[in-house]
Amino acid sequence: MERKKASDFPPEVLKLFDGYVHGGLSRRDFLEHAARYAASGFSAVAMLEALSPNFAWAQQVKPDDGRITTGYASYLAPKGSGNMRGYLALPAAAKGRRAAVVVIHENRGLNPYIEDVARRLAVEGYTAFAPDALTPVGGYPGDEDKARDMFAKQDGAKRTEDLLAAADYVKLRPDFSGKFGAVGFCFGGGIVNTFATRMPDLAAAVPYYGAQPPAAEAAKIKSPMLIHYASEDERIDAGWPAFESVLKAHHVKYQAYIYPRTQHGFHNDTTPRYDEAAARLSWQRTLAFFKEHLKA
């Protein structure tokens, strides 16, 4: 299928799709409502297919890239599900200790896009570890709709503990330098915010369009933060003013950017909501932020 951009879809359809991928609408509901905006040759079914991820579009660093080594690693989450698994990407030529970055996925588990993000960080010289919250139910199934259903049925509190434990895994590695950061997208952005509220030793937090923590929890944040939002993301952006007021009141070092004319998910290069300019700029800022706080 021809690759489309967000501008190829009516804004109402993009809002419907956001509701669908975040559990607010069923597939049937999406198709029923999107049908009102269908055009000749572009039915509701075709719009849903076009908006869904195509992982063939997004492999900026191949798994066999000679600059890195990749594989899967198991770790323990004693406060969560016990045995967990994640994707590990390491710089091939690096020796000695190095900083680590935990990469947290969206609400579909450890898919190829997130694995690619981990590889991009390994190329930059970090130990990158991306846990899979779906490990207790067999892991990411390779089907986004199925993964979303599996995710929705999980115990949220236990799942959070499973992901928090990924930080313990990287900190216990013999190659750990003593500094670690976290980056996450959508659901993962919200988890990175949780990392910041729970881990005073987190050296750098980068949430992409993540749900904000309650004020009482946000008041506990000590780590520097780089926060990315999309301008056309009412659901998430609504929580930013209150969050910012808490960060200011508690003198948290933060930078926040709202990228104009972008949709929720603009960094994910597997869907039409991807915005190349915003994704590139935000990633440049992310790498600079990690370099400042993890490598200095």
Give tens-digit pLDDT for 78-105: 999 999 999 999 999 877 899 999 999 9
- Taking only the tens place, the pLDDT of each residue in 284-296 is 999 999 999 999 7
141 & 266 share domain: yes
22 & 100 share domain: no
Calculate ∠ Cα 146-149-155, nearest 5°: 135
36 & 159 share domain: no
- Taking only the tens place, the pLDDT of each residue in 162-215 is 999 999 999 999 999 999 999 999 999 999 999 999 999 999 999 999 999 999
Whether 254 has a pLDDT exceeding 60, the answer reads: yes
CA dihedral for 228, 140, 87, 132, sign (positive or negative)? positive
**Domain assignment of residue 36, yes or no:** yes
29 & 132 share domain: no
**Domain assignment of residue 1, yes or no:** no
Average pLDDT value for residue range 145-151: 93
What pLDDT does residue 161 have? 98
41 & 101 share domain: no
223 & 197 share domain: yes
70 & 22 share domain: no
More confident residue, 244 or 38: 244
62 & 147 share domain: yes
Average pLDDT value for residue range 142-159: 94
Whether 115 has a pLDDT exceeding 70, the answer reads: yes
- Residue 86: φ, ψ to 5°: -150, 175
112 in Cβ contact with 60 (< 8 Å): no
**Domain assignment of residue 154, yes or no:** yes
**Domain assignment of residue 27, yes or no:** yes
**Domain assignment of residue 290, yes or no:** yes
**Domain assignment of residue 159, yes or no:** yes
What pLDDT does residue 40 have? 65
- Please give the model's pTM, rounded to 2 decimal places: 0.92
Closest of 167, 140, 153, 150 to residue 79, by C-alpha: 167
189 & 165 share domain: yes
140 & 263 share domain: yes
Average pLDDT value for residue range 124-137: 98
Q: CATH number, domain at 190?
A: 3.40.50.1820
Average pLDDT value for residue range 38-60: 82
Whether 1 has a pLDDT exceeding 60, the answer reads: no
- Residue 149: φ, ψ to 5°: -65, -45
Torsion angle of the four alpha carbons 72, 74, 77, 80, in this order, in degrees rounded to the nearest 10: 70
Domain that holds residue 45: 6-52
Closest of 104, 100, 72, 105 to residue 88, by C-alpha: 72
**Domain assignment of residue 259, yes or no:** yes
pLDDT band at 153 (very low <50, low <70, confident <90, very high): very high
98 & 11 share domain: no
102 & 241 share domain: yes
What pLDDT does residue 102 have? 98
What pLDDT does residue 27 have? 87
Q: Domain count of the chain?
A: 2
Average pLDDT value for residue range 241-267: 97
**Mean pLDDT, rounded, of the chain:** 94
